[in-house]
Structure 1
Amino acid sequence: MRLKIISMMAATAALLGIAPPSQAAVDGPDVFWKLSMWGNPRALSVGMERLAEKVAAETNGKFKIKIFYGGQLSKSRENLDGLKLNAFEGAAFCNFYHPGKNPAFMVFSLPFLPLGDPRVDKYVRSKMMSHPAMIADMEKWNAIPYVSGLLPQYEILGKGEPPLTLEAWKGMRVRAGGGLGSAMEKLGAVRQTLPAGETSTAFQRGALDAAAFPYTYAHVAFKISDEADWYTSNLTPGTSECGWVFNKTAYGKLPKQYQDLLMGMRDEVMDATQAAYAEQDKKNLPMFEKTMHKITYDDATLEEFRKVAGQPVWEEWIADNADKFDSQGVFDAIWQYAEEAKATLK
C-alpha cells in the first residue's frame, strides 16, 4: 500500500509539472569563496562568472563562488598580496601591474609572440599555466594558477594627431605594460604603466596620448574609446596576461570532488571568455570605424616595427631574467607549444 501511494504521488507530481527534489551532481560540504577583481563585470570575467554558476548548480548550491568587483576586496596591484594573507580565496591579476611579483609571467607581455590565433593562444597558455616557472611565481604568493584570461592582441587608441608612421610615435606618452611597453620605447615613445581604471582620467587631464589594451573589449570597458580620436587596426604588437589564480591554502582545504569540479571546468571557462571577446568585437568595431580615424599600416612598416621592437626586446628580457629563473626555457616553451598547437589543431 505504501509503495502504491508513493507511486500515485509521483504520477500526480508529474502531471502537475512538479519536479522532484534535485540531487547534487557533486555532493560535499557548504563552502563560500570570494574572488577579488577590479573594475566592472566584462568579457575578462565572463568565464569565471560561468564557473560560479556551474559550480553552484553542480553542488546544489553548497559550493558558492562570488566575484567582488570594483576593488572591494583589494586594489588591482595588491591581489597577490591578499592571497598571501589569506584574505580571499581567488583573484584576477595582471602581470605587468607588478613585474617583480611575477617575473616569469612577464613572458606573456613580450611583443610579437605566436599567439595571434585564438585557438593557438588557448593551447599555449593552458600549457604554460602548469610550467614550473609559472607555478613558482605564484607559490610565493600562496597562489596556484587556474586559467589564463586569454587577452586578445592589443591595439592602440589615442588622442590628437594619428601616428601614421613609426617615426610619429616618438615622444608620445603611451600606456603600455611589460615587453609591449619596451617595444613602444624602441620607437621613441614614453612608456606609462597606469592601472586600467586610471587611464581614461589620464586622457581627460591631458597626461596621456595613447593607450594599448586588448582589442576591442578593454578599450570600451575602461572608456578609452570615449576619449580617443584614432585607433590602430593591424599593429598587433602583442598582449599580456591577466589571469585567475586560487588561494593555495583554500584550494588545499577543498574536498577532492570540489577540486576536480574546478579543474574540470577550465576549458569551459576559457571558451566562454573567448566567446565574450568575439561578441564584443562585433559590437565595438562598427562604433570604432564610425567615431575614430582608422590607422592601417602597410606590410613594410609592420616588418620594420617587428625588426626594431621584436627580437631586441626578447633578448633583453631573457638576459635580464637569466639569474631569476630559466628565462630562455620559458621563452622557448611558448614557441614549442605554439608549434604543437598548430600541428594538433589542423
Structure 2
Amino acid sequence: MQKYLSYTAVAAISLAFAGEAMATEWNVSLWGKRRAFTEHVEKLAELVSEKTNGDFTLNISYGGLSNNRENLDGISIGAFEMAQFCAGYHRDKNPSITVLELPFLGVETLEQERKLSMALYDHPAVEADLARWNATLLMPSPMPQYNLVGMGDAPRSLDDFEGLSVRATGGIGAAMEAVGAVPTSMTATEVRQAMDSGVVKAVAFAPHAHMAFGTIENGDWWTANLNPGTVNCPVVANTDALEGLSDAHREALLGSIEEALDHYVDNYTNNTMEAWGPALEERGIEVISFDDESLQKFEEAVAGPAAAAWIEDMGNRNLPAQELYDFATGKLAELKGDS
C-alpha cells in the first residue's frame, strides 16, 4: 500500500528546509592572529550570531582567505563577504581615506579616531571611492599614535634618525623621511622577518602590533612620544552581499557595529595599554622621550608640506581633495571641542 506523509510531517520538513535557506554564512578575511586590532570583528561575529539565534554567522579567517594586501581585491570579486585592510598598504586602491593617515593630523584619543573615521566613511566621495571595489565601509579599527621600536643605538635627538631604516607606511613614512630616516612600506606580517634579517632597524606600530608581531623581542628602545600619526584600517563588506541580506540579518549586522566598537575601545584602553608598560620593562627596552621644542620643529617641518602634497596628488586623481581634508580637520576640531 502506498504510504503518504502526514500534513504535519510535510509541514515540519518544509520548515526545516526554510530554516536552512534562511541561514547565512559570511567569510571574513583578516590576518595575523586574534589581537586587540581584531576584537571588534570578533565581537561583531558574536553579536550577530546571538541576535539571529545562529542563523547568521561570520566565519573569521586569519590569513586563510587572502594576502592582507589583497583583501580589497577579494571583496571586489566576492571571494569573501567581509574583510579588514589598512589604507597605507595600498594607497592607490583607496586614496580618499588616506587623508586620515596624514602625519600630525592631531587625533588624540581612540574615541576621536573612531568618530572621525565613521564620519569620513559617510562622505559621498569616500563612498564612491570604495564602491569601485564593490565595498561598503562598516567600521574603523581605531589605533593610538604610532611610535617606533628599534634595535641598536637609541636616537637621542631627531638628527639621530638620519639614515635609519624604518618600517613605516603612509603619512608616517613621509614624516620619518623628513627627519632623514629611510622608510620602507611592508605589511605587519612581514615585519619580524625584516627585523631579524636587518632589512629594517626600527618599526612604526601601535602598541598592540609591537606585542602581536614580536618587534619587542628584538627591540632595544621605544620612542614614547614621537607620535607622527596613525594608520586607518577599516572593516568592509561586499556591497552585493550586504544588500542581499534579509532585513533581519542586515539589522543584526549594522545594529551591532557600535557595540562592537565600544568593546574594541574598552579592550584596547584597559587591556592592551595596561600590558604595554610591563612588556617593555620585562625586556629591558629603553623608553626614549623627545623634548617639546624638537617635537614642535618635527611637526612644523612635516605637517604642512605633507598635507599640501596630499591635496595636490589627490586632486590630480580627480578626488575633491581639499574638501576631504577640510572635512577631516573640521570634524576633528569639532570632536575636540565636544570632549
What TM-score, normalized by structure 1, do the two folds share?
0.89
Determine helix, strand or coil for the equivalent of 1:310: helix
Task: Tell me if 1:336 matches 2:327.
Answer: no
Task: Tell me if 1:313 matches 2:306.
Answer: yes
**How far, CA to CA, are the matches of 1:196 and 1:338 in structure 2?**
27
- The residue aligned with 2:149 is 157
> Residue type matched to 2:51 in 1?
E
> Residue type matched to 1:56 in 2?
S
CA contact under 8 A between 1:186 and 1:309: conserved in structure 2?
Answer: yes
Larger helix proportion of the pair:
2
Task: Tell me if 1:217 matches 2:197.
Answer: no
- The residue aligned with 1:111 is 103
Query: Which residue, 120, 123, 127 being the options, matches 1:128?
Result: 120
Per-residue CA deviations over 1:10-35 (Å, capped at 9, x if unaligned) read xxxxxxxxxxxxxxxxxx92100000
CA contact under 8 A between 2:136 and 2:237: conserved in structure 1?
Answer: yes
Identity among equivalent pairs (%): 36
Q: How far 1:342 sits from its partner (Å)?
A: 2.8
- The residue aligned with 2:15 is none
- The residue aligned with 2:94 is 102
Per-residue CA deviations over 1:16-56 (Å, capped at 9, x if unaligned) read xxxxxxxxxxxx92100000011101111111111111111
**How far, CA to CA, are the matches of 1:318 and 1:60 in structure 2?**
47
Per-residue CA deviations over 1:194-253 (Å, capped at 9, x if unaligned) read 111111111111111111011x11100111111111000011111011110001110010
- The residue aligned with 1:82 is 74
Q: How far 1:68 sits from its partner (Å)?
A: 0.5
CA contact under 8 A between 2:166 and 2:201: conserved in structure 1?
Answer: yes
- The residue aligned with 2:169 is 177
**Structure 1: tracts of 5 or more residues without a match:** 1-27
Task: Tell me if 1:42 matches 2:7.
Answer: no
**How far, CA to CA, are the matches of 2:165 and 2:308 in structure 1?**
24
**How far, CA to CA, are the matches of 1:289 and 1:112 in structure 2?**
28
CA contact under 8 A between 2:48 and 2:256: conserved in structure 1?
Answer: no
Q: Which residues of 2 match residues 221-240 of structure 1 at below 5 A? A: 221-240=212-231
**How far, CA to CA, are the matches of 1:209 and 1:137 in structure 2?**
35
- The residue aligned with 1:6 is none
Task: Tell me if 1:263 matches 2:257.
Answer: no
Q: How far 1:122 sits from its partner (Å)?
A: 1.8
Q: How far 1:119 sits from its partner (Å)?
A: 2.2
> Residue type matched to 1:145 in 2?
L
Task: Tell me if 1:197 matches 2:189.
Answer: yes
**How far, CA to CA, are the matches of 1:195 and 1:211 in structure 2?**
11
Number of residue pairs aligned between Structure 1 and Structure 2: 316
**Structure 2: tracts of 5 or more residues without a match:** 1-20
> Residue type matched to 1:114 in 2?
G
Task: Tell me if 1:251 matches 2:242.
Answer: yes
Determine helix, strand or coil for the equivalent of 1:322: helix
CA contact under 8 A between 2:149 and 2:223: conserved in structure 1?
Answer: yes
Q: Which residues of 2 match residues 20-59 of structure 1 at below 5 A? A: 29-59=22-52
- The residue aligned with 2:200 is 208
Per-residue CA deviations over 1:267-287 (Å, capped at 9, x if unaligned) read 112111112222111012122
CA contact under 8 A between 1:134 and 1:145: conserved in structure 2?
Answer: no
> Residue type matched to 1:230 in 2?
W
